[in-house]
Amino acid sequence: MKILVCISHVPDTTSKINFSDGDTKFDTNGVQFVINPNDEFGLTRAMWFKEKQGASVTVVNVGGPETEPTLRKALAIGADEAIRVNAEATDGFFVARQLAKIVKDGGYDLVIAGRESIDYNGGMVPGMLAALTGANFVNTCIGLEVENNEATATREIDGGKETVKCALPLIIGGQKGLVEESDLRIPNMRGIMMARQKKLTVLEPEEAQSQTTAVKFEKPAPKGEVKLVSPDNLDELISLLHNEAKVI
């Protein structure tokens, strides 16, 4: 079984976020980037198929050279090879078009993408990719087994879960639950050294017109100040709740 895992290069959630050019562009200065968490769950599941069923695992990213450390981390975790499409990921449709060509040319049986990336939270790429390739698609996937060219997938739905069966090729939009957080892998020294020798192919992008443009970004409103009251001073606490917060 050939597996392709889509990897987004996203800011660490602990990074301080700023914008430039009149709040129209994300400022990457001083920002630490990581594998998108939803993609990391998918990569870990792909590693399970590699170890249990002998699957081959390729990781792919649409981005510039600055994304290669993220791909190298995926290789250090255990992926066999990596592909980078040398283009800025301008919008979901553009990314899906680039990935669609790779999926078609590579003959992949299973494509694992994250349900959404934690930077723009578009949630568009997996569904668009399925439409462009004609593959079966399961979104919000929290469980996946493959046997004899048939996949059994469990996905979240409103109020519960749904289990479906479908033939390969299959594209999933994975998330937490596909594996547990305790199953996520940290590259060891041997994996890091081996990743340096693994193949990383750089491809030029397919011509595709972006369908959306970011007009402006805006930070959420700052949180209000917090007043601390000694647990021994109940009179002050009651006064603040009554006169300032006006909740009693």
Q: How does residue 246 score in pLDDT terms, banded at 50, 70 and 90?
A: confident
Write down the pLDDT at residue 96.
96
User: Any idea where the domains of the chain sit in the sequence?
Assistant: 2-217
What topology does CATH give the domain 2-217?
Rossmann fold (3.40.50)
Region 113-122: mean pLDDT is: 91
Whether the CB-CB separation of 62 and 87 falls below 8 Å is answered with: yes
pLDDT at 154 over 90: yes
| Surface-to-core class of residue 173, CB atoms within 10 Å of its CB (0-12 exposed, 13-18 middle, 19+ buried) | buried
Write down the pLDDT at residue 214.
84
Helices 125-133/92-106 angle, 10° precision: 40
Region 12-29: mean pLDDT is: 89
Region 178-186: mean pLDDT is: 93
Average pLDDT of the chain to the nearest whole number: 93
Q: Is 63 helix (H, G, I), strand (E, B) or coil?
A: coil
Write down the pLDDT at residue 109.
97
Q: Which residue has the higher pLDDT, 170 or 246?
A: 170
Per cent of the chain over pLDDT 90 is 74
Write down the pLDDT at residue 223.
82
Q: Which amino acid is at 132?
A: L
Span of 52-66, 135-149, 225-239 with lowest mean pLDDT: 225-239
Cβ atoms < 10 Å from Cβ of 72:
19
The pTM assigned to this predicted structure is 0.88
Chain-centre distance of CA 11, in angstroms? Answer: 11
Q: Which residue has the higher pLDDT, 85 or 246?
A: 85
Instruction: Give CA–CA dist 214/41, Å, rounded.
Output: 28
Span of 1-10, 28-37, 52-61, 209-218 with lowest mean pLDDT: 209-218
Instruction: Give CA–CA dist 63/77, Å, rounded.
Output: 20
| Residue 217 CB partners (closer than 8 Å, separation 6+) | 19, 23, 24, 25, 26
Chain-centre distance of CA 189, in angstroms? Answer: 24
Angle at 207 between CA 201 and CA 212, to 5 degrees: 110
**Cα four-point dihedral sign 9, 185, 129, 117:** negative
Span of 109-113, 178-182, 214-218 with lowest mean pLDDT: 214-218
Instruction: Give CA–CA dist 190/89, Å, rounded.
Output: 31
pLDDT at 69 over 90: yes
Instruction: Give CA–CA dist 25/90, Å, rounded.
Output: 11
Write down the pLDDT at residue 245.
82
pLDDT at 211 over 90: no
